[in-house]
A and B are shown apart, each in its own frame.
Chain A
Amino acid sequence: MLVVEGLTCRFGTKAAVDNASFSIAPGSFVGVIGRSGAGKSTLLRMINRLADPTSGRILFEGTDVTALRGKELRRWRARSAMIFQQFNLVGRLDVLTNVLMGRLAQIPSWRSLAQVWPEQDRALALSALEQFDIAQLAAQRADQLSGGQQQRVAIARALVQEPDIILADEPIASLDPRNTKIVMDALLRINKHFGITVLCNLHSLDLARTYCDRLVGMAAGRVVFDGAPAALTDHIARELYDLEANDVIGAAPLPAPDGATAPALGTAAAA
Chain B
Amino acid sequence: MSQMPRPDTTELRAKYPGVFERPASARLAMPAMIAAALAIFVFGLVDLDFSPSRLIAGLGQLGWITMLMLPPNPGSSFPLYMQALGETLSIAVLGTTLAAVLALPVSLLAARNIIPSNLIRFPVRRFLDSIRGVDTLIWALVWINVVGLGPFAGVLAIMVSDFGAFGKLFSEAIEAADRKQVEGIRASGGNALHEIRFGLLPQVLPVIAGQVLYFIESNTRSATIIGIVGAGGIGLQLAEQIRVLEWQKVSFLILMILIAVAAIDFISSKLRFAIIGQRAVV
Chain B residues bordering chain A, tally (CB within 8 A): 21
B194 partner residues in chain A, CB cutoff 8 A: 101, 104, 109, 112-113
Tell me whether B185 and A90 are in contact (CB under 8 A). Answer: yes
Chain A positions 34-61 with a Cβ under 8 Å from a chain B Cβ: 48, 50
Given A74, A78, A101, A112, which contacts B184 in the complex, CB threshold below 8 Å?
A: A101
Tell me whether B203 and A77 are in contact (CB under 8 A). Answer: no
Smallest CB separation, B118 vs chain A (Å): 20
B240 on interface, CB distance cutoff 8 Å = no
B66 on interface, CB distance cutoff 8 Å = no
A112 partner residues in chain B, CB cutoff 8 A: 194
A102 on interface, CB distance cutoff 8 Å = yes
Tell me whether A74 and B191 are in contact (CB under 8 A). Answer: yes
Measured CA separation A101–B206 after assembly (Å): 21
Interface range on chain A (Cβ under 8 Å from partner): 20 to 34
Interface of B is mostly: helix
Residue-by-residue, is B258-282 near A (CB-CB < 8 Å gives 1, otherwise 0)? 0000000000000000000000001
Tell me whether A77 and B282 are in contact (CB under 8 A). Answer: no
A157 on interface, CB distance cutoff 8 Å = yes
Given A77, A93, A97, which contacts B186 in the complex, CB threshold below 8 Å?
A: A77
Given A77, A82, A90, A144, which contacts B199 in the complex, CB threshold below 8 Å?
A: A90
B183 partner residues in chain A, CB cutoff 8 A: 50, 84, 88
Given B184, B190, B198, B202, which contacts A105 in the complex, CB threshold below 8 Å?
A: B190
Measured CA separation A113–B198 after assembly (Å): 8
Number of A-B pairs, beta carbon distance below 8 Å? 83
Q: A92-B202, A93-B202 are in contact. Are A86 and B190 (CB under 8 A)?
A: no
B54 on interface, CB distance cutoff 8 Å = no
Measured CA separation A78–B180 after assembly (Å): 17
Residue-by-residue, is B186-203 near A (CB-CB < 8 Å gives 1, otherwise 0)? 111111011001110011
A50 partner residues in chain B, CB cutoff 8 A: 183, 186-187
Q: A90-B198, A92-B202 are in contact. Are A104 and B282 (CB under 8 A)?
A: no
Measured CA separation A89–B178 after assembly (Å): 11
Residue-by-residue, is A119-153 near B (CB-CB < 8 Å gives 1, otherwise 0)? 00000000000000000000001011000000000
Residue-by-residue, is B152-184 near A (CB-CB < 8 Å gives 1, otherwise 0)? 000000000000000000000000001011011
Which residue on chain A has the smallest CB distance to residue B179? A88
B206 partner residues in chain A, CB cutoff 8 A: 92
Measured CA separation A113–B199 after assembly (Å): 12
Given A86, A87, A101, A161, which contacts B198 in the complex, CB threshold below 8 Å?
A: A101
Tell me whether A93 and B198 are in contact (CB under 8 A). Answer: yes
B178 partner residues in chain A, CB cutoff 8 A: 91
Most chain B CB within 10 A, of A77, A90, A97, A105, is at: A90
B189 partner residues in chain A, CB cutoff 8 A: 74-78, 102, 104-105, 161
Measured CA separation A91–B202 after assembly (Å): 8
Measured CA separation A50–B183 after assembly (Å): 8
B interface residue numbers (CB < 8 A to A):
178, 180-181, 183-191, 193-194, 197-199, 202-203, 206, 282
Q: Can you list 15 A-B pairs, Cβ within 8 angstroms, ordered by A?
A: A74-B189, A74-B190, A77-B188, A81-B187, A82-B187, A88-B181, A89-B181, A90-B185, A91-B181, A104-B191, A104-B194, A109-B193, A143-B282, A144-B282, A161-B189
